[in-house]
Amino acid sequence: MKKPIIAIAGLTACSGCQLTLLNCEEELPEIAQRFIIDYFPLGLTERLITGPIDVAIVEGAVSTPSDLEILMKLRNSSHSLVALGTCALWGGIAAMKNQESRKDLAETVYGSAADGLKTFNPQPLHRFVKIDFAITGCPPETGELLATLAALLRGTFPVFPHYPVCSECRSRENLCLLIERNEMCLGPLIQAGCNARCPAVGIGCEGCRGPVTEANVAAETELLLKKGFPMDEIVSRMQRFYPEWDYEQRS
Amino acid sequence: MSSVLEISPLTRVEGHGRIEVHFAGTKVETVSLSLYESPRFFEALLKGKSYAEVPEIICRVCSLCSTVHRICSLHAIERAMDIQVSEQVRLYRELILYGGHIQSHALHLFCLVLPDCFNVAGLAGLADKAPQELQRWLRIKSAGNLIQETVGGRTIHPVTLIPGGMGKPVAREGLLKLKEALQRVLPETHQAYELFRPFLPNGDKLATPRYLSVRPEGASPFLGDNLTMGNGETIPADSYMNLLCERMSGTGNAKTILVKNQPATVGALARLNLGMPLTPMAAAAFEESRMLLTDADIRANNLAQAVELILTVERSLDIIEILLKADFTREEPARIVPKKGRGSTAVEAPRGLLIHSYSFDGRGICRGADIITPTVINQAAMERDLLALATHMEGADDEALTDALERLVRAYDPCISCAVHVLKI
Amino acid sequence: MRNSRDMTIVPLPATIIGRKALSADTTLYRLALESSEEDGFDFNPGQFVQLSVPSGGEVPISLAGPPRHQNSFELCIRRVGHVTDMLYQLLPPNRVGIRGPFGNGFPFSEWAGRNILLIAGGLGIAPLRSLLYALLMQRGEFGEITFMYGAREPSAILFKEELAELSGRKDMHLFVTVDFTKEESPGGLTCNTGLLPTLLRGVNFSTTDTVAAVCGPPALYKCLLEELQDLGIPAAHIYLSLERRMKCGVGLCCHCAVGDLFCCSDGPVFRYSQLKGISGAI
Amino acid sequence: MARNLLKRDSISFFLEILATFGKLHGPILTDDGVLAFRPLGSGNDLLLEYSRTLVPPKKYLLPPRDAVLFFAPDEWYHQLAAAVPETILVGLHPCDLQGIAYLDKVFLGDRIDPLYRARRTALTLIGLSCEPDENCFCGDLSATETHGCDLFMHQSPGGFNLKDNTPKGTAILDRLTPILAEGKSLPAVSRTCDMAAAIQLASVRSETHGESALWDEFAERCLSCGACSLCCPTCYCFDIREYGALDGESTVRLREWDNCLFKDHGEVAGGFNFRKSRQERFQYRYRHKYLGFGPTRGIASCVGCGRCRAVCPVGIDLLELFKERQDEKQP
Ligand SMILES: Cc1cc2nc3c(=O)[nH]c(=O)nc-3n(C[C@H](O)[C@H](O)[C@H](O)COP(=O)(O)OP(=O)(O)OC[C@H]3O[C@@H](n4cnc5c(N)ncnc54)[C@H](O)[C@@H]3O)c2cc1C
Ligand code: SF4
Ligand code: SF4
Ligand code: SF4
């Protein structure tokens, strides 16, 4: 079998998605054997993106000219490009206040020195380049990452199911935090695949995996309002990982 | 004739960084270190958020230290709101803190630094050259991850820890499994320490660092209310501002910090030098390498981290024992009535001193946040050492210089994602 | 021990023994079952198999060749997604998995003595090709046989050579049409331009005592069925093969219901009269 | 008079004896506060009075996510021949027994699913009478309480009257005799519930409520969370997916619970969807639950356990459709 040549890079992010790969301790040696890792600054001393690359796996949102440059380079030298994680796919945590002025945010942190910063609103990769596949999650699940790598060995991408966190939550027989404890759980709106990690330990889903294919945003919002949460709290919570919810959407 | 050697991007470190060495002829003129990670303005993101959201957001600053950020932020919030947590919660938080250190140190030592020891470029090289060792060392890392997963519900950005308490405690079987995994890797942590012992530089010594850390209280080496320095000086953590002064660094997006106008060094090496309490095996290892570690320059930090691996695995086992005996059942988190106030706390992160400071309004909405990360504190010392090393090496070829400078940066174990978040003081 | 009613969960291995591109995205596969125990299978035109591509998954595919009892059979497959993409990577003598045949198929033995009109749109030609060969094998038993086939454009016409050959036969009528043309008609094949319903109105064939079998995309059914009835073919004599999402092929997974019928086990071939009252069926 | 009365203070003996037949499972309250079927013992206490578990016992026969096939180049597709351990499921309410009986009809009917059969054969069912709460509507369904169960425990003032229904049950009862007291056999409970009658009637008449305005209302509110189907004792739709392993060759094929309210349930290649709107999907669900498809045509599968009403975050209740009908009839 021909070894796929891969590149792994991070843009504006916390490195958690790349760390997810390094957290596959058991599989790492096998991965190192089955793939040619061409570019991976976090784990490999190689500073140049030379290509041709079969698959570039990119973490993080795009928020600086240098991010964009790396992304373009990877896109141009790769056959396929995979968005790894919520930031790359949805914008993620750094994008939560994209509706506010970037300049003001910068000044809050850097004061007058903010002027010198070359940065713009963090955007998901697909705003700039075509993405061929995405693995969601903040951080992504090792299982999904490994399934993707395994599929790459076969020249394809895996098929993940499209249902909300609640589905996995119910099959795990968790207590429903939304119904039984009136907590603001975003499970009904969020793409499953994490096996409902958070509700399983008694914590409401914070929405780290982004919207599920079919999300009844309006109905969930109405439900939360009925439970007494103020709209601004709902919005603040929902925008944590994805700033662009349509609160009228029902399908 | 002037020329520049650019090392960009820095590899096998977290985040985006670059070094430029400027030469006049063969003489080194300046060395600049720039951390050009894109700023995510975390302090600004937190503003206007309810206290309950703060830990969940802030842990995303960095994946390598998400646990300690979360804990530090919980402590600061609870300080601001005047909340005490139960013994059970304290123990679980301490345990997961150790998990975070194991995970982070193991990642640094075995994924980022180890290729240097075997003269290979990265993991694939290691898998080729030392497959068995690699597997063995990675087991230590997975034991750290198992703590995160079992206690925190996830290996990165743990979810169970919330203001005033926690979600579900770990079931007995979970604790027993953890215990088994940790017991299995304890001997291996000692072997890892042996592995890193010979890899200390024996050439020119760099400046002796000015160490800075939390002054441990009780048995936990990473928690305390005061900061301590090499000269014995101690100040309360919440007046950290009197100690640290900030300067905007030249090129990158991070700011650098001076302590009493001088670069300070934080991290495992600082902690060992400042007398943190050790467990038996860790103490023996430290004793054996005392000469190598005492007042050593930062390049001994890798060995210091290896000693801490032993320490944290042992401490974790102690805590698990306590938890097993106590047989806690699930409890409701402390009820929090939001109030206006400010809370500042410090915790020892894997890379060193971490400070979170928040102010809240009467509704518990965050009105100001200040986060000082170890990499920011270390940056000034890093620049100083880079210049010194480059100067020592004048005349060396580019490849050797690049290699040496990168190794030096790696010894600091910088976390650049964290470093670019710092608020004006 | 396997009970005869046991649902086959495990696909039998079949070797790809031939592969022929029919158009840019459609290929004809010839497969041979390996197991001697089964010794080939009988099937009815209109039945389908569940085809497994290891690591890809399983998809329903119509049997496209003549229903002769033998160890090898033909599938005509369009590359549209995950499993079919992976199938396209395989070459003879790679192996795939087969379960089946499933479904009812066309009840053509009941059509003896009648005139028969077959209408295929696009990939719908797959089961109808099988049916046509079955009819021709027993040619004497039926009345007039008319085969109409519509493709999007000349390059999308499947089985060109076969069609050219069939067009020379005196014992059946063949009409081929394309939605639009940019190029010349393909060699040896006379081809009309326009949609199938237009073709239907434009050509001569017997409409009395006629049975129609139709297979194509949903859009085709929408415009064709009324037309056929207008021509005097009763709904009970119009047979169509439906496509639905399927996972098991044997009436368990519940994805393919049409009204209270299962497409996989009650179908995929239905009389139009069965479907008429069912909303969403067509 | 027969020796069939299990006194309450003999319950632990009873369980001990049962345990010799296989691994005991029954309803417990988890540390989460959820009613669930779990292994008994080691701190899990059997509940003999409970409303309903969140997830029905179907999980023993059709696990939520089940590896059904493995593939390796030299072994082709194969099932792992792992033996299914004998499991004694204690404390099943009549509605759950009814649910299993329905699944038996589907999976052991025209086409036998060998995986299901292996698990079903290894399962011993011990029923338990119950008291309905506000979500239940089983009505007459509970009259067939003993359906498919091996042994039934009927709550009575003195304890539980046991009744064996199968040779398996008789074998167990024989072993239990030493700890049983004399009791009289109780008549089957008769329970009336308007809803049950209305449902039966709808099934018989193939009532689709096609004109009802409730469909739109349901479709607006439904979160597509999937709880209603996941928690339904007779919902068994499944999806099949296959994932390769990192060795580049071997593969596992998974069977997982699916849900007809999910958007891609009716979608085929190219994105064409036969049930694009949620409204259509609700009607599909209704049809499957109350009118049946294919071999189950005309058989209502709803057993009246009330789970779907209890677990829906937005309070959707298909029974409103039947109520609407009843209201119409009353002038
Ligand atoms: C009775 C029947 C006969 C068919 N005969 C043929 C044929 O002869 N030639 C041919 O090329 N195609 C045929 N199809 C369609 C074929 O099954 C789909 O094109 C195929 O499933 C697409 O799978 P994919 O993984 O490549 O596409 P994707 O779009 O990636 O499909 C993903 C998954 O969705 C499901 N799915 C998608 N489309 C369908 C579908 N149409 N039917 C059922 N499940 C689906 C499958 O389970 C598949 O695994 C037939 C379908 C049916 C129902
Ligand atoms: S706890 Fe959250 S994820 Fe789980 S079922 Fe309830 S709403 Fe859904
Ligand atoms: S439950 Fe929600 S927040 Fe938790 S991991 Fe899953 S998607 Fe993320
Ligand atoms: S439980 Fe309610 S909200 Fe969830 S899918 Fe069913 S009807 Fe919709």
For each successive 10 residues of chain B (425 residues), what is the average pLDDT? Answer: 85 88 88 80 88 93 92 96 94 96 95 90 88 91 96 94 93 95 96 88 80 90 91 86 69 66 91 93 94 90 96 97 92 91 95 94 92 90 91 88 91 81 41
Task: Choose the residue to mutate in A163, A170, A224 for probing ligand 2, maximizing ligand atoms within 8 Å of C-beta.
Answer: A170
Q: Do C120 and C225 lie in a common domain?
A: yes
Chosen domain end from C102, C131, C152: C102
Residue C252: inside a domain = no
Least Cα separation, residue B88 to chain A (angstroms): 16
In this structure, are residues D55 and D238 in contact, taking their beta carbons and an 8 Å threshold? no
pLDDT of amino acid D186? 66
Rounded distance, CA B92 to CA B106, Å?
Answer: 21
Per-residue pLDDT tens over the stretch A147-199: 999 999 999 999 999 999 999 999 999 999 999 999 999 999 999 999 999 99
Per-residue pLDDT tens over the stretch A121-146: 899 999 999 999 999 999 999 999 99
The CA A247 to ligand 2 mean position distance, Å, reads 19
Structural domain boundaries in chain A: 5-153, 165-238
Question: Which chain A residues have a beta carbon less than 8 Å from that of C89?
Answer: 154-155
- Pocket of ligand 3 contains residue A192 by CB under 6 Å: no
SS3 C264: coil
What is the number of the ligand 3 atom nearest to the C-alpha of A193?
6
Q: Which domain holds residue B321?
A: 2-419
Per-residue pLDDT tens over the stretch D262-317: 988 888 887 888 888 888 888 888 888 888 887 788 888 888 888 998 999 999 98
Structural fold of domain A5-153: Rossmann fold (3.40.50)
Burial class (CB in 10 A: 0-12, 13-18, 19+), D196: buried
> Are residues B160 and A233, on separate chains, in Cβ contact within 8 Å?
no
> Are residues A44 and B123, on separate chains, in Cβ contact within 8 Å?
yes
Q: What is the CATH number of the domain that holds C50?
A: 2.40.30.10
**Preceding peptide of B131 cis, ω within 30°:** no
- Kindly list the partner chains of chain D, i.e. chains with 3 or more CB atom pairs below 8 Å: A, B, C
pLDDT of amino acid C190? 74
DSSP category for residue A3: P
The CA A198 to ligand 3 mean position distance, Å, reads 6
* Alpha helices, H only, chain C: 82-88, 125-137, 160-167, 196-202, 218-230, 272-275
Per-residue pLDDT tens over the stretch D184-226: 766 666 666 767 777 777 777 777 888 888 889 998 999 999 9
SS3 D219: helix
Count of CB pairs separated by less than 8 Å, B with D: 5
D238: which strand partners?
Answer: D257
> Are residues A219 and D222, on separate chains, in Cβ contact within 8 Å?
yes
Q: What is the ipTM of this complex?
A: 0.92
Q: Scanning the structure block, which residue is given the tokens 């429903």?
A: A176
Q: How many CB atoms lie within 10 A of CB C257?
A: 26
pLDDT by residue, tens only, chain C of 282 residues: 344 566 678 898 999 999 999 999 999 999 998 875 555 678 899 999 999 999 999 999 999 998 876 778 999 999 999 999 999 999 999 999 999 899 999 999 899 889 999 999 999 999 999 999 999 999 889 888 999 998 888 888 899 889 888 888 888 888 888 887 766 656 667 777 778 877 777 777 777 888 999 999 888 888 888 888 888 888 899 999 999 999 888 888 888 888 888 888 898 999 998 998 888 888
Best CA proximity match to B333, nearest among B108, B85, B3, B116: B85
C170: CB partners within 8 A, 6+ apart:
none
pLDDT by residue, tens only, chain D of 331 residues: 577 888 888 888 899 999 999 999 999 999 889 999 999 987 778 999 899 999 999 999 999 999 999 999 888 999 887 788 999 999 999 889 989 988 998 899 888 888 999 999 999 999 988 877 777 777 665 555 567 789 988 888 888 888 888 999 999 999 988 888 887 766 666 666 767 777 777 777 777 888 888 889 998 999 999 999 999 999 999 999 999 999 999 999 999 999 998 988 888 887 888 888 888 888 888 888 888 887 788 888 888 888 998 999 999 988 888 777 766 655 4
> Are residues A159 and C57, on separate chains, in Cβ contact within 8 Å?
yes
pLDDT of amino acid B425? 30
Interface of A with C in 130-159 (CB under 8 A): 151, 154-157, 159
Q: Which domain holds residue C154?
A: 108-241
Count of CB pairs separated by less than 8 Å, C with D: 125
Task: Choose the residue to mutate in D55, D135, D215, D224 for probing ligand 4, maximizing ligand atoms within 8 Å of C-beta.
Answer: D224
Number of folded domains that form chain B? 1
pLDDT of amino acid C210? 87
Question: Which chain A residues have a beta carbon less than 8 Å from that of C82?
Answer: 156-157, 159
Per-residue pLDDT tens over the stretch B251-309: 455 567 888 888 999 999 999 999 899 999 999 999 999 989 998 889 999 999 999 99
B–C contact: 3+ Cβ pairs < 8 A: no
> Are residues A14 and B66, on separate chains, in Cβ contact within 8 Å?
yes
pLDDT of amino acid B363? 92
Rounded distance, CA A184 to CA A240, Å?
Answer: 13
- Pocket of ligand 4 contains residue D310 by CB under 6 Å: no
Task: Please give the mean pLDDT across all residues of chain A.
Answer: 92
Task: Choose the residue to mutate in A174, A175, A191 for probing ligand 2, maximizing ligand atoms within 8 Å of C-beta.
Answer: A174
Q: What is the CATH number of the domain that holds B182?
A: 1.10.645.10
In this structure, are residues B98 and B319 in contact, taking their beta carbons and an 8 Å threshold? yes
Q: Relative to the alpha carbon of A144, which ligand is closest?
A: 3
> Are residues D221 and A219, on separate chains, in Cβ contact within 8 Å?
yes
Count of CB pairs separated by less than 8 Å, A with C: 14
Identity of the amino acid at D285: R
Residue B424: inside a domain = no
> Are residues C252 and D236, on separate chains, in Cβ contact within 8 Å?
yes
Total-model pTM:
0.93
Q: Do C46 and C60 lie in a common domain?
A: yes
- Pocket of ligand 2 contains residue A94 by CB under 6 Å: no
Question: Which chain A residues have a beta carbon less than 8 Å from that of B60?
Answer: 14, 16, 92-93, 138
Burial class (CB in 10 A: 0-12, 13-18, 19+), B155: buried
Per 3-state DSSP, what percentage of chain C is helix, strand, and coil (rounded to 5)?
A: 25, 30, 45
Q: Do C18 and C61 lie in a common domain?
A: yes
Least Cα separation, residue D261 to chain C (angstroms): 11
Best CA proximity match to C64, nearest among C37, C101, C95: C101
Residue C153: inside a domain = yes
What is the number of the ligand 4 atom nearest to the C-alpha of D227?
1
Q: Is B327 left (phi over 0), alpha (psi -120 to 50) or beta?
A: left
pLDDT of amino acid D329? 59
Rounded distance, CA B50 to CA C150, Å?
Answer: 63
The CA D192 to ligand 4 mean position distance, Å, reads 27
Q: Do C56 and C140 lie in a common domain?
A: no
Nearest residue on chain B to A116, judged by CA atoms?
B253
pLDDT of amino acid B138? 93
> Are residues C5 and D111, on separate chains, in Cβ contact within 8 Å?
yes
Q: Do C151 and C200 lie in a common domain?
A: yes
User: Could you give the C-alpha distances from D139 to A175, B379, D189, D305, D308, in angstroms and in order?
Assistant: 28, 74, 10, 10, 16
pLDDT of amino acid D136? 76
Residue C269: inside a domain = no
Identity of the amino acid at B1: M
Q: Does C94 touch chain A (CB under 8 A)?
A: no
Rounded distance, CA B185 to CA B178, Å?
Answer: 11
Question: Which chain C residues have a beta carbon less than 8 Å from that of D284?
Answer: 257
Residue C137: inside a domain = yes
Residue B298: inside a domain = yes
Number of folded domains that form chain C? 2
Rounded distance, CA D125 to CA D143, Å?
Answer: 17
> Are residues A106 and B53, on separate chains, in Cβ contact within 8 Å?
no
Option in A170, A187, A212 nearest D231 (CB): A170
Categorize the per-residue pLDDT at A23 as very low, low, confident or very high, splitting at 50, 70 and 90: very high
